[in-house]
Chain A
Amino acid sequence: MYILQNAFHNILRNRGRNILLGAIIFVIIIASVVALMINNTTKGIIDDYKSRFSSAVTIIPNMERMRDEAMKNSSGGRMRIMAPVIPSEQYVEFGNSDYLYDAVYRASTGLNSDNIMAIDAKLGGGGSTTGTIVSGGTMSTPTSYMFSLQGNRFEDFDEGLRDLAEGSMPKNKNECIISSDIAELNGISVGDIISFTSELAYKGETFTDTTYIETYYELTVVGIYYDATDEYNPGGQQNAYTNRRNEILTNYETVVAQMQPGLSGINITATYYVENPDMIDAFAEELYAKGLDPIFDVTTDETSYNKIVGPVEGLKNISISFMIIVMIFGGIIIALLSSIAIRERKYEIGVLRAMGMKKHKVALSLWSEILIITCLCLVLGLGIGTLVAQPITNLLLVQQIEAAESVASTAGFSGGMMMGSVVNPVANSSAQPLENIDIALGFNTILEIIGIALLLASFAGLVSISKITKYEPIKILMERN
């Protein structure tokens, strides 16, 4: 007890030196508080986004490889860029994997009808090809569709943008729901049967080899939904086909029922959810082993992930680097100060030892002094660090977002001719970077900071203790006298 009392008195007796030591410890603690608060908060955010973006895997054709393949097969300046068709059964086969906890399949195709009028029919129809045919400067004209048949695309209902007005959702094959706009325009009620035609294409080795096979869909309307989505995608083409009121919603099985081996015309996408982001490579290997054409990539939405989380990761890295630098330099300064302080206090130590105080008690007394100073700095550092962490985070995050945008815009102007596009179904190009992070001081962060503070105090104490063990009281007192 008297050691602690003496330590308190000594802190007050040697104010100047202790204020200097305290200031350095305070700087280290405040840097650690801010850095750890940022690190721990961003870690949670990053983990969350990582599991969301990295666990959703999709199969998309690699444009580069498709182009190379097309170049190899081209003749007379003509080339066809198109992805091979993956049969729906193969998508399902791919989904049977131990690496997955879920698989979601979606399919879509274009439709026409002789009996049903589409919304905005006057604007004409649109296409739904998966490839673009380039032919020495001219482009072939694909079949125009007025409607789209969407298999298993019900996410707007979850988001509250669509809602069932009457009837029920499609459960069985050849059941569908239509928008209230189509229903009103054509006087369709729940229970009516509506007929559509579509086309499947067989694309031969050359551009002119394409043949078309007509397919038919006879669907029972089991429900009518209100639609509050935007009629058209902003900046997109506007015609009956792209008008979302003309989407006929059904289940996946209904759309792919018309699919025939080797024929295109039905777009299928599958999103596989792996148990753990680390399993993606193993899952990809499994897919290639199961017969996936190497022209396809097994990919996650890295672009969106990087866009959203990139600045946060940058912020995390900066804060930790800053903390490490401060700790290294602070540690060196503390070691030097402790070493100087102990030389100054050599006589005091000699007197205490001459009075019979044991070495370990002298060491404990010195360590207690540093510990008390560290505790005071800890309380102050935690308080002030918590206050300044949020503004510092905001400032750093803005800089990180600007840096990320600047890199993205540079990358965007890479030049070159766009040969076609394949959209990653899980990619969200409109993803916005995280602009606000609510920094909080968690229990774990407090424990980590206490750990760092104890480490600092112990480090400074060790420097002192290592010196004390070398001192013999008689020599100190004789030197002094």
Chain B
Amino acid sequence: MSVLVLKDISYQYEGTKKSVLKNINVAFERRKVYTIVGKSGAGKSTLLSLISGLDVCVKGEILYEGTSLKALDRDDYRAKSIGVIFQSFNLLTNATAVENILLSMNISGSKIKDKKAFAYELLEKVGIDREKAGRKILKLSGGEQQRVGIARALSHNPDVIIADEPTGNLDRDTEADVLKVLTSLAHDEGKCVIIVTHSRKVTSIADEIWGINDGKLLLMH
């Protein structure tokens, strides 16, 4: 059964008549890595905003585990079911890396007993050592901040992981490590991973590649 189904989704920005997304129909399954490609401004990030419950479509509906997002508490959905890796990180800049992870776990109501140890473990997994984990976000490089963002997206063990250009700020080695983590999450841990990217390297790990063109979502591979 598909974990996430987009049914006839359309979207247009407030005050405009042109639809950014037109009648999109797609089903995302667990254990798969999806990449969505397209030109800048094609609507890739908008699609991710709709999937992550940050925005609401004007037409159609999104089903999570068979239930429409309209019927779900979108805050709970974001906190527990979805992990979002933002292109611009969107971390709490005056907090430390580990505090960002802990806060995400707390918001989701994580039942893990030693949250701090788990947070350090996650950060280590994406290449942030203990010393850096205790630094404030602004004291970390762009790549390090991106890794903290990835760790935060994984912190509450969501079913669906959505990533907007997750490796855009990373060096080659780290990019490879992160992609390995994302692939492993899908294939080994049964998550559904959806990645918006321009990178060929990222598309190379995808099980399905989708492209957005003129507001339509098309299966490319």
Residues of chain B lying within 8 A (CB to CB) of residue A473: 54
The answer to whether B99 and A355 touch across the interface, beta carbons within 8 angstroms, is no
Q: Which 3 A-B pairs have the closest CB atoms?
A: A356-B79, A2-B106, A356-B78
List 18 A-B pairs, Cβ < 8 Å. A2-B107, A6-B106, A9-B99, A10-B94, A13-B94, A347-B93, A351-B92, A352-B92, A352-B103, A355-B79, A355-B103, A355-B104, A356-B76, A356-B107, A474-B49, A474-B55, A477-B88, A477-B90
Residues of chain B lying within 8 A (CB to CB) of residue A208: none
The answer to whether A481 and B94 touch across the interface, beta carbons within 8 angstroms, is no
List which A341-358 residues lie within 8 A (CB) of chain B.
347-348, 350-358
Is B203 interfacial (CB 8 A cutoff)? no
Main secondary structure of the interface of A (DSSP, over half): helix
List which B83-117 residues lie within 8 A (CB) of chain A.
84, 86-88, 90-95, 99, 102-104, 106-108
- Contact among A10, A347, A477 with B86 in the assembled complex (CB-CB below 8 Å): A477
Is A210 interfacial (CB 8 A cutoff)? no
Is A480 interfacial (CB 8 A cutoff)? yes
Is A140 interfacial (CB 8 A cutoff)? no
List which A20-66 residues lie within 8 A (CB) of chain B.
none
Complex alpha-carbon distance, A356 and B88, angstroms: 18
CB distance from B104 to the nearest CB of A (A): 5
Residues of chain A lying within 8 A (CB to CB) of residue B91: 351
Residue-wise, chain B 15-54 has the 8 Å CB interface mask toward A (1 for contact) of 0000000000000000000000000000000000100001
The answer to whether A355 and B94 touch across the interface, beta carbons within 8 angstroms, is no
The answer to whether B88 and A480 touch across the interface, beta carbons within 8 angstroms, is yes
CB distance from B157 to the nearest CB of A (A): 14
Is B75 interfacial (CB 8 A cutoff)? yes
Residues of chain A lying within 8 A (CB to CB) of residue B152: 355
Q: A357-B79, A477-B90 are in contact. Are A352 and B107 (CB under 8 A)?
A: yes
Is B118 interfacial (CB 8 A cutoff)? no
Residue-wise, chain B 118-137 has the 8 Å CB interface mask toward A (1 for contact) of 00000000000000000000
The answer to whether B75 and A481 touch across the interface, beta carbons within 8 angstroms, is no
Complex alpha-carbon distance, A356 and B107, angstroms: 7
Q: A355-B104, A474-B49 are in contact. Are A14 and B94 (CB under 8 A)?
A: yes
CB distance from A478 to the nearest CB of B (A): 9
The answer to whether A9 and B95 touch across the interface, beta carbons within 8 angstroms, is yes
Chain B residue with Cβ nearest A358: B75
Complex alpha-carbon distance, A402 and B63, angstroms: 81
The answer to whether A474 and B104 touch across the interface, beta carbons within 8 angstroms, is no
The answer to whether A356 and B90 touch across the interface, beta carbons within 8 angstroms, is no
Complex alpha-carbon distance, A357 and B74, angstroms: 10
Is B147 interfacial (CB 8 A cutoff)? no
Counting contact residues on chain A (CB < 8 A from B), the size range is: 20 to 34
The answer to whether A354 and B78 touch across the interface, beta carbons within 8 angstroms, is yes
Residue-wise, chain A 417-441 has the 8 Å CB interface mask toward B (1 for contact) of 0000000000000000000000000
CB distance from B54 to the nearest CB of A (A): 4
Chain A residue with Cβ nearest B77: A356
| Residue among A10, A13, A480 facing the most chain B CB atoms (10 A cut-off) | A13
The answer to whether A481 and B87 touch across the interface, beta carbons within 8 angstroms, is yes
Chain A residue with Cβ nearest B52: A354
Is B80 interfacial (CB 8 A cutoff)? yes
The answer to whether A348 and B92 touch across the interface, beta carbons within 8 angstroms, is yes
Q: Given A6-B106, A350-B90, A356-B75, list of 8 further CB < 8 A pairs?
A: A6-B103, A9-B95, A13-B94, A13-B95, A361-B107, A477-B54, A477-B86, A480-B90
- Give B contacts to A, CB under 8 Å: 49, 54-55, 75-80, 84, 86-88, 90-95, 99, 102-104, 106-108, 152
Residues of chain A lying within 8 A (CB to CB) of residue B77: 356
Residues of chain B lying within 8 A (CB to CB) of residue A354: 54, 78, 84, 86, 90
CB distance from A57 to the nearest CB of B (A): 70
Residues of chain B lying within 8 A (CB to CB) of residue A351: 90-92
Complex alpha-carbon distance, A318 and B208, angstroms: 78
Residues of chain A lying within 8 A (CB to CB) of residue B87: 481
Complex alpha-carbon distance, A9 and B104, angstroms: 15
Residues of chain A lying within 8 A (CB to CB) of residue B93: 347
CB distance from A44 to the nearest CB of B (A): 49
Complex alpha-carbon distance, A10 and B80, angstroms: 24
Complex alpha-carbon distance, A351 and B95, angstroms: 12
CB distance from B159 to the nearest CB of A (A): 14
Complex alpha-carbon distance, A350 and B103, angstroms: 14
Complex alpha-carbon distance, A361 and B106, angstroms: 12
Chain B residue with Cβ nearest A473: B54
Complex alpha-carbon distance, A474 and B152, angstroms: 18
- Contact among B75, B84, B90, B99 with A357 in the assembled complex (CB-CB below 8 Å): B75
Complex alpha-carbon distance, A356 and B53, angstroms: 10
CB distance from A14 to the nearest CB of B (A): 7
CB distance from A481 to the nearest CB of B (A): 5
Residues of chain A lying within 8 A (CB to CB) of residue B54: 354, 473-474, 477
Complex alpha-carbon distance, A348 and B54, angstroms: 15
CB distance from B183 to the nearest CB of A (A): 25
Complex alpha-carbon distance, A348 and B103, angstroms: 12
Residue-wise, chain A 56-97 has the 8 Å CB interface mask toward B (1 for contact) of 000000000000000000000000000000000000000000
Chain A residue with Cβ nearest B99: A9
Residues of chain B lying within 8 A (CB to CB) of residue A9: 95, 99
Residues of chain A lying within 8 A (CB to CB) of residue B102: 2
Residues of chain B lying within 8 A (CB to CB) of residue A347: 93
Residue-wise, chain A 1-15 has the 8 Å CB interface mask toward B (1 for contact) of 010001001100110
| Residue among A14, A352, A356, A359 facing the most chain B CB atoms (10 A cut-off) | A356
Chain A residue with Cβ nearest B53: A356
Chain A residue with Cβ nearest B76: A356
CB distance from A9 to the nearest CB of B (A): 7
CB distance from A474 to the nearest CB of B (A): 4
Residues of chain A lying within 8 A (CB to CB) of residue B76: 356
Complex alpha-carbon distance, A480 and B108, angstroms: 24
Residues of chain B lying within 8 A (CB to CB) of residue A480: 88, 90
Residues of chain A lying within 8 A (CB to CB) of residue B107: 2, 352, 355-357, 361
